[in-house]
Structure 1
Amino acid sequence: MLSLPEPVRVRLIPHTLGYSSADLPPVISPPPGEVRLLVAPANYAGQGYEWARAAERLPGVGAANLVVARGTDWGFRADHRVVENVAVDSAWWYRRHATSVLTGFTHVLVESERPLLGGYCAGDVRREADALRTAGIAVGYVSHGSDLRLPSRHADRERWSPFRDQDWPLLPVLEETARANAAFLAEQDATVFVSTPELVLDYPGAVWLPVVIDGARWANPTPALLRATPVVVHAPTNPIIKGTELIEPTTTRLSDEGVIDYRRIEGVAASDMPTIVATSDVVLEQFRLGIYSATAIEAMAGGRLVVGYLSEQVREHVRLVTGLEIPIVQASVDTLESVLRDVVARPEQYRALAEQGPRFVAAVHDGALSAAVLEPFLRSADRRRKAPGSLDEHRTARRRGRTA
């Protein structure tokens, strides 16, 4: 039975493949438009989906995103999903997927230096880049963070850097991965975007592509800090990176004293987070990397007071690009207690800062700025096909790029 075609085996003996027919999604249909963009395959924090929507604000641009799912994706929105073992192992699926991409899209934005054609090029991102370009597709890259952030460089400049912990088992892997990815990007000589401003230190030629959120999902008419005991939440997707273990002695003690009502949020679906944020007063962001993430942006959109540690480089970069100050209260591991006590003592002053959040998000993170950042890449007309590619174009790409 192992010699049967894959579509037959997946119905009769799926246990031999590791996936079932229910795991085989439809192949992507390219969107309409003279410019047709695919953003794939990571979709961290739903950003692939949001950047695709931002791109569609531009005249003549159609966009779609694909997530190749690894484990739990927490229900972030996506246009298309495929589980990783199908993307890698199902020749029936990835050949059709590659045909659709190579003949139907004009531009791709590759997330985190990961392959977006599944097993078509055996996961080799260099061969995949060659196949995409041979098909006439303009290729750009976007880094989400740990794929490009060099731990040794970060440890040198940040006192609370998580990469100063030499006992962290992942440290050598992260260092090697970041160096390899930076070298790969340099080889490609392509447009490189980064989702957080500090990553321009790791790849100086990169362009900041702001994180995008749907502000309407987070809008909250109730002001923050009306309670005598503010609700303070912290939602660490990665406690080591966020500095959770460094701040919780402080937050737990203050909560035990009745100064704040501290709540740690974990394992919650993305769809439940707007309600959690809406019922809080203060959101603690992160205290080790010096950046602000989607969590902080969502909280600002909801008019919550965000407290965290931002490097001056991040604040200055945002200031230079947008002309705006980031309305996040500065606090370090050392100063968090005094900051929170001050928030409780002077709620009116901090409420005024929280009320700046929705305006900042609307100006920087609603998708309009991200669309403007993407536009030069998407208007690269010299490498753009006017219509979906021909079979001859695709066959050339297959000869150069296919392994299965």
Structure 2
Amino acid sequence: MSRLLSAPRRLVDGLLRDRTRLPRFVNRTIDHIADHPDGLLGRLAARSLGGFDASDIPPPTAAPATAARVYIGPTNYAAQGRLWAAALDASDADVGARNMAVDVPGGFDFPADTIVPVPVYTRSREWQEAELEAVGRFSHVLVEAERALFGRLFSRDVERETAELERRGLSVAFLCHGTDIRLPSRHVGLTPWSPYADADSYNTKFERDASRNRALLDRLDRPTFVSTPDLLLDVPYAQWCPVVVDGAVWQVDAEPENARPLVVHVPSKSAVKGTALIERPVRGLEAEGLLDYRTVSGVAARQMPELYRSADIVLDQFRLGSYGVAAVEAMAAGRVVVGHVLESVRRSVSEATGFAVPIVEATPDTVGDVLRELAADPERRARLGREGVAFAEAVHDGRRSARVLLDGWIES
């Protein structure tokens, strides 16, 4: 696959990692290309992602030999597509699931049943047609983030894809992940720390995409799910399908032996997580000798369990008002998680599960005081760690997610 890692591909990777830093005319050009994949610029952009050989084309995704056969794709954010599929496999229903993920520029490397290099996904008619035929052997299709499954076979038109799949007798549902459906104009009214309030936030693209995706879901009126509870505000008729974490991967056998509490912050996107907003108060506590602080970036997913095992406290996010995979992973490791979670989100989780979210509430204005109290109270930290493990097991080990999909769609 050497040609897949060409200089143009690396350039595209760099461009897409943080679009808020790009000039507006560059962003407008990128958006035009995304909206017109069959146009001249769209075809040129597809070629810029590199070539591919026949050996780069993965075999079609094979359907399991079960009564219900579920196909999930194409984003696999934080390996959630694979983990939801595994949760369905492990359920007591006669259902099997497989997931497909596109290796997109600027993305992370997570395991999947079928991984498709983006040049193959975009340009290989052979792969597109073979995968469509393979998916026709499934009974159910779960479309992640309102993204096209078969590249440009249907000009990346999800509505046309849905019609074709249903013509073949499949049941189609949708699962929203985040920026694909979160409306910036609504979010800025939820919390004063909303990242969409930033002057350099690329709200034009986010607002348009979220509005367009919501309109698509409204028109199609198919079973719809969201991966985090805050998104129920954007899609009120959706059902919450919790993110899944494999507790065995994150399990900790011994507590860290730090002389002072080690506070860790691992922002996937620092502007969204609120890193700059919390840096001064946390560094101030470190200067007082009350704790040690590490901000880590660019860590491979396989290294995260070891990182969390060394920590006492994990700072999650302070701007979106919710929580996701990273927070659950830290809780599964028994670590105290601190972050900003809206009361409406906490209430939604409690009503759906009977559990309170054991994330210690803190905003950029209060994080210093919160950490000062936690640093002085090891017994409270130990209790919160135990509560986090219990919460991760009860809500996010996959059983509840599988049941939501079964009750709300597959077996309905």
C-alpha distance in 2 between matches for 1:347 and 1:141 = 43
C-alpha distance in 2 between matches for 1:52 and 1:262 = 37
Give the C-alpha shift of residue 17 in structure 1. 6.7
Q: 1:99 — aligned with what?
A: 133
Q: 2:76 — aligned with what?
A: 43
Question: What SS does the aligned partner of 2:290 have?
Answer: coil
Give the C-alpha shift of residue 243 in structure 1. 0.7
Give the C-alpha shift of residue 239 in structure 1. 1.0
Amino acid aligned to 2:357 = I
Give the C-alpha shift of residue 48 in structure 1. 0.3
Give the aligned CA root-mean-square deviation in angstroms.
1.6
C-alpha distance in 1 between matches for 2:318 and 2:50 = 44
Question: What SS does the aligned partner of 1:65 have?
Answer: strand
Native 8 Å contact 1:88 1:122 kept in 2: no
C-alpha distance in 1 between matches for 2:157 and 2:295 = 40
Q: 2:24 — aligned with what?
A: none
Native 8 Å contact 1:223 1:351 kept in 2: no
Q: 1:230 — aligned with what?
A: 261
* TM-score where L is the length of structure 1: 0.87
Give the C-alpha shift of residue 73 in structure 1. 4.0
The unaligned stretches of length 5 or more in structure 1 are 1-13, 381-404
Question: In terms of mean alpha carbon deviation, does 104-113 or 15-24 score higher?
Answer: 15-24
Native 8 Å contact 1:228 1:344 kept in 2: no
What are the residue-to-residue correspondences of 1:296-315 with 2, within 5 Å?
Answer: 296-315=327-346
Q: 1:76 — aligned with what?
A: 110
Give the C-alpha shift of residue 15 in structure 1. 10
Give the C-alpha shift of residue 350 in structure 1. 2.2
C-alpha distance in 2 between matches for 1:156 and 1:16 = 38
2:143 pairs with 1:110? yes
Amino acid aligned to 1:154 = H
Question: What SS does the aligned partner of 2:219 have?
Answer: helix
C-alpha distance in 2 between matches for 1:265 and 1:343 = 21
CA distance 1:261–1:15, shift in 2 (3 Å)? closer
The unaligned stretches of length 5 or more in structure 2 are 1-46
Amino acid aligned to 1:90 = S
C-alpha distance in 2 between matches for 1:162 and 1:42 = 23
Q: 2:85 — aligned with what?
A: 52
Native 8 Å contact 2:339 2:360 kept in 1: yes
Native 8 Å contact 1:193 1:209 kept in 2: yes
Q: 2:167 — aligned with what?
A: 134
Q: 1:370 — aligned with what?
A: 401
Q: 1:124 — aligned with what?
A: 157
Question: In terms of mean alpha carbon deviation, does 58-67 or 138-147 score higher?
Answer: 58-67
Question: What SS does the aligned partner of 1:53 have?
Answer: helix
Question: What SS does the aligned partner of 2:294 have?
Answer: strand
Q: 2:227 aligns with which of 195, 219, 223?
A: 195
2:331 pairs with 1:320? no
C-alpha distance in 1 between matches for 2:297 and 2:59 = 32
Q: 1:149 aligns with which of 177, 182, 202?
A: 182
Q: 1:67 — aligned with what?
A: 101
Question: How many equivalent residue pairs?
Answer: 364
Amino acid aligned to 1:299 = A
Give the C-alpha shift of residue 29 in structure 1. 1.0
Native 8 Å contact 1:233 1:262 kept in 2: yes
Question: In terms of mean alpha carbon deviation, does 262-271 or 361-370 score higher?
Answer: 262-271
Larger radius of gyration: 1
C-alpha distance in 2 between matches for 1:166 and 1:134 = 45
Q: Tell me the percent identity.
A: 43
Native 8 Å contact 1:213 1:298 kept in 2: yes
Give the C-alpha shift of residue 16 in structure 1. 11
Q: 1:271 — aligned with what?
A: 302
2:246 pairs with 1:214? yes
Q: 2:120 — aligned with what?
A: 86
Runs of 4+ in 1 over 6 A off after TM superposition: 14-17
Question: What SS does the aligned partner of 2:69 have?
Answer: strand
Question: In terms of mean alpha carbon deviation, does 14-23 or 233-242 score higher?
Answer: 14-23
Give the C-alpha shift of residue 21 in structure 1. 3.0
C-alpha distance in 2 between matches for 1:119 and 1:99 = 15
Amino acid aligned to 1:287 = F
Q: 2:311 — aligned with what?
A: 280
Question: What SS does the aligned partner of 1:66 have?
Answer: strand
C-alpha distance in 2 between matches for 1:86 and 1:141 = 24
CA distance 1:219–1:90, shift in 2 (3 Å)? same
Question: RCO greater where, 1 or 2, for CA within 8 Å and sep 6 or more?
Answer: 1
Question: What SS does the aligned partner of 1:167 have?
Answer: coil
Question: In terms of mean alpha carbon deviation, does 250-259 or 104-113 score higher?
Answer: 250-259
C-alpha distance in 2 between matches for 1:238 and 1:20 = 33
Give the C-alpha shift of residue 293 in structure 1. 1.1
Give the C-alpha shift of residue 24 in structure 1. 1.2
